[in-house]
A = this chain, B = another copy of it.
Amino acid sequence: MAKGNLYIVTAPSGAGKTTLVKALLAADPLIQLSVSFTTRAPREGEVNGRDYHFVERTEFERMINNGEFLEHAEVYGNYYGTSQTWINSVIESGSDILLEIDWQGAQQVRRLFREAIGIFVLPPSLDVLEQRLRGRGKDSDEVIARRMKVAREEMSHVDEADFVIVNEHIDEAVRDIIAVVRAERLRLVAQSARHTALISALKG
């Protein structure tokens, strides 16, 4: 059984990452979003194991002490975290996992998962990004300027990724991300694990 791959998808706000990831998940049944652990209560309609892994505070703290988290944070009194143990078990089962995080989270994950594959999504230009950020509402120039600053900070880490997708036309960008995930499954190591009988017959 071949192991799955771990993908880290990074992008500034406005690059179209959410749309892209949604389209990938819809097109490819062998990849799934990473599901975070949290101590907050489930909201109406949220399903345990799909939206979050809902756990008690004591359980979460036990996991912290065990070093089970790739990354975790406390926000408004609730814990949120990505479990390395859970990710490992999904990957071992042959599924790919996709993690949507910022450059800091990406660096953290890469330290622990050297084989993680980084995909950076960029807008076609800074002007287009600004238009997209403005298009979202009636925000002041100051707010837009702050968002652009955050976006530029994020984008300055583009060269830490393995693949770069420039999202000019969403259809093309969707094809791009689907191609990356499909192609990475065809790497020699993955295929050797998937087709053990065939490959060992060839080498025998």
Contact = CB atoms under 8 A, between A and B. Distances in A.
Interface string A156-180: 1011011111100000000110111
A188 interface: yes
Contact of A183 (B182, B188, B203): B182
A199 interface: yes
Interface of chain A, main secondary structure = helix
Contacts of A197: 125
Contacts of A202: 122, 126, 152, 155-156, 158
Contacts of A201: 125-126
Interface residues of A, number: 36
A198 B159 contact: no
A50 interface: no
A187 B183 CA distance: 12
A186 interface: yes
A126 B200 CA distance: 11
Interface of A: 120, 122, 124-126, 152, 155-156, 158-159, 161-166, 175-176, 178-180, 182-184, 186-188, 191-192, 195, 197-199, 201-203
Given A165-B186, A166-B198, A183-B183, 8 more contacts: A122-B195, A124-B198, A155-B202, A156-B203, A158-B188, A158-B203, A159-B199, A162-B187
